Structure 1
Amino acid sequence: MSHPHSDASLSERIAASQTKSSPTSHLNRAKVLALRAEIRQALDDGWSVLAIYKTLLDEERVNFSYQAFRRHVNGLLLGKAKARKRPSHTTTITQTTQPASTATGFTFNPQAKKEDLI
């Protein structure tokens, strides 16, 4: 018993089903997932994300903004997670918790520790 979409991968079939009834963001993600093998190959061949996007847009295989395409490619193919902004007070707290006298860099200690030699 074969499935009518047996040539497509499970991911491609899921992406196709998501495109039928999903909000726009999920629809765009599904399209990038369905095209990921081709996008990965183009990236490996040295093409920019913009060149890939323009070609897919011209071929009417994507119909959303470059920013959305880049975000999905970065997250799904390049492993670049969406950077979350930290509240500004976190940075201030981090800076004030470090002792002022802490030296950065290497400090030579002429006395060797036994733990370090083992």
Structure 2
Amino acid sequence: MKRIFGFIAIIFLLGIFACSSSSDDDDGMMPDNDQALIEAQNYFNNTLRPVIVDKCVSCHEGKHNKNDRFNFSVFTNARNSATSMFNQVDAGTMPKDGDKLPQSEIDMFEEFRDLVNKIN
């Protein structure tokens, strides 16, 4: 009988230690994915969104479809299209009826794409 209780006690203690965590999740830091999302949102709001509002919204806001998924001044829409946006501005196919963006602005799209890729 003592052996059974001893065995149960050992299993119980192993269970407690196995469930306790000494991982990085307990250090008060955000998981990498959350941090990457916050970095992408901050970069978008503070750096890229003003360029999009100035150069893209006049054609892409509510004119292409009813659900407005091409309004790239909205973070979720821009996030979902980050690679496509970069490829098009880098190739000079967007803005469609305008001059190619300056390299400094193209670099902003590239940086945003790279930040979004860290989320996924």
Normalising by structure 2, we get a TM-score of 0.25
Normalising by structure 1, we get a TM-score of 0.25
Structure with the bigger RCO (C-alpha within 8 Å, sep 6+) is 2
